Amino acid sequence: MKGKQWLFVFFVCALIIAIAYSGFAIVARSNRATLRGLSGIGVLMERLPPEVEKGGLKTNQLQTDVESKLRKAGIKILSREECAKTPGEPYLYVNLNVNIAKTESDVYPYTIDVMLIQRVSLQRNPGLVTHAVTWSIGGVGSISKPILSQLREVVEETLDIFIQAYQAENPK
């Protein structure tokens, strides 16, 4: 295995371990229960910096990847209008943040966050309604510039954790 490929594999494995055992996750049973009964979700993909897109990783492609994977898992994707009319206005926020600051090497740190955000009310004041993260997973890693496009796989693997939680709460 070439050096850059080995580095990528190492960081993907480290990310999976970090996701599985980190404090970056809100995947407790009570949080997972907030997925129960969702008829669909909107998807909001954070825009990637132009420098990252020049490296081959495109925001639009990631958005398409995420929506396609969710659909294949049987999760309905809601348009903005549909999401706004759905109780709780649920949407999945995906943020892949690649720090493209100048470094001595071509290795960039990144974070990934996948969060389900819903409209909720406070228990102490049910009339006070806001949006809040009800389920999330995240991780960190680093990747070399020539293989930035392989972060698509990291997004997919992180999304798999959401899909498993969703399906556990919404069996067919």
The letter for the amino acid at 43 is: V
Alpha helices in 22-146 (DSSP H): 29-32, 50-54, 59-72, 80-85
Nearest C-alpha neighbor of 43 from the set 152, 159, 131, 160: 159
**Per-residue pLDDT reduced to its tens digit, 70-107:** 999 999 999 999 999 999 999 999 999 988 876 677 78
Structural domains in the chain, CATH included, are 3-169 (3.40.50)
- pTM of the full structure: 0.81
* pLDDT, tens digit, 9 for 90 and up, residues 22-80: 444 455 666 889 999 999 999 999 999 888 888 888 999 999 999 999 999 999 999 99
